[in-house]
Amino acid sequence: MRFLFTSVILGTIAMLSGCQTQKQSPKQPPQFNTGALWYDTNHEVINAHGGGLLLVNKTYFWYGEKRGTSASEGVSVYSSKDLYHWKNEGLALPKSNDPNSEIAVGGLIERPKVIYNTKTKKYVMWFHLELPNQGYKAARAGIAISDTPTGPFRYLKSFRPNGNMSRDMTLYLDDDGSAYHIYSARENYDLRIVKLTDDYLDATQQDSLLFSNHREAPAIFKKNHLYYLITSGCTGWEPNQASLHVASSLFGPWKLLDDPMQGPLANKTFGGQSTYILPLKDKKNAFIFMADKWNPKDLKDSRYLWLPIEFENNQPVIKWQEQWQLSSYNP
């Protein structure tokens, strides 16, 4: 009786809080449960926020911020063959125990992104680095390197690209092997792009302002020779309205399009903030938009919003869906 009572109460609380889980049952076809608790193959909640994905042969690697209640605990990495089931591969970049290190405990590692350099055969990670015990003052890009996708990566250095502050960021690897760092500069008023050196370990001087609209959380993809860039406003962990820009060259000019989000809370990016856009390996022009639904009271419990990008009149549109499957993409 007591058991029944407890499970009814727990079930009601779960319903009211919208607390579904993303446990994949072997009997049902897998699906994405947008914003639900998402467990890895070890039954632990996935802890990989502000993340990005990398495809290596047939395996996807998901890199993200490992967070405690608020602490930054390094970069975690998970692997998956199907995007639904994720295996924890541990810490790709742990915090350093050396108190003099730039990545010592007390600093922040945010929005890690990894790309592979075919010339040097190295995996290169860039991230937003804040130095220990300085809040968000340092505003630097950090770089780490590894021979394998799971690492552990070796921390190399940090800097401000061409002297510019560098906070929210992403990396973009273009079809010709050129790589770019897109970053919020000048107290996040400017969004900039800088081309990386051939080894992807430095910024070149090809560094340009994209726009000065006070935007951050850049996520980018390319379709039919056009680049699409989704960004958020700057309201910290609070959600705000996404914007979409399009350009035929990474260095612009960038044209502002309508907000691509549609559905409940669309004008607040469904309660989330963009982090990455994944092109699917075996489907042409199929992309997943990825966002973080931050929980500032308990950052590790921030949730993942993954949604398919659709195209209507050739314009990207992202519709809220509580559940969906990869089979929903047109073949």
Q: Which residues bind ligand GAL (CB under 6 A)?
A: 50, 110-111, 168, 216-217, 234, 236-237, 273
> Given the complex with ligand GAL, which of 122 and 167 has the nearer CB atom?
167
Minimum CB distance to ligand GAL, residue 184 (Å):
8
Work out how close the CB of 114 gets to ligand GAL at its nearest, in angstroms, rounded to a whole number. 17
Dihedral pair phi/psi, residue 14, rounded to 5°: -60, -40
- Of the pair 291, 318, the CB lying nearest ligand GAL is at 291
Assigned token pair, 192: 């900039």
DSSP secondary structure of 3-39: HHHHHHHHHHHHHHTT--B-PPPSSSPP-EETTSB-B
CB of 239 to ligand GAL, least distance (A): 10
Nearer to ligand GAL, 22 or 273 (CB): 273
What CA–CA distances, in Å, run from 245 to 44, 113, 258? 37, 21, 8
State the nearest-atom distance from the C-beta of 132 to ligand GAL, in Å: 16
The nearer residue to ligand GAL, 50 or 64, going by C-beta atoms, is 50
Q: Which residue lies nearest ligand GAL, judged by its C-beta? A: 236
CB of 111 vs ligand GAL, minimal distance in Å: 6
The CA–CA distances, whole Å, from 47 to 33, 228, 235, 287 equal 16, 27, 22, 22
Of 237 and 311, CB closest to ligand GAL: 237
Q: Which of 185, 50, 170, 152 is nearest to 110 (CA)?
A: 50
Do 205 and 162 meet the contact criterion of CB atoms below 8 Å apart? yes
Max Cα–Cα distance, the chain, nearest Å:
70
**Strand ranges, E, within 24-121:** 32-33, 49-56, 59-67, 72-80, 87-93, 108-117
CA 46 to chain centre: 14
Residue 59 Cβ vs ligand GAL, minimum distance, rounded to whole Å: 26
3-class DSSP assignment, residue 328: helix
d(CA 223, CA 279): 10
Can you tell me the distance from the alpha carbon of 10 to that of 232, in angstroms, rounded to the nearest whole number?
Answer: 35
> Per DSSP, what are the bridge partners of residue 244?
230, 257
- The CB-of-285 to ligand GAL minimum distance in angstroms stands at 28
- Cβ 292 to ligand GAL, closest distance in Å? 8
CB of 273 to ligand GAL, least distance (A): 6
Of 122 and 294, CB closest to ligand GAL? 294
The counts of H helices and E strands in the chain are 1, 23
Q: Which is nearer to ligand GAL, 108 or 326 (CB)?
A: 108
Looking at beta carbons only, is 40 or 216 nearer to ligand GAL?
Answer: 216
Contact assessment for residue 31 and residue 323, using Cβ atoms and an 8 Å cutoff: yes
- Of residues 234 and 242, the one with the C-beta less far from ligand GAL: 234
Amino acid (one-letter) located at 61: F
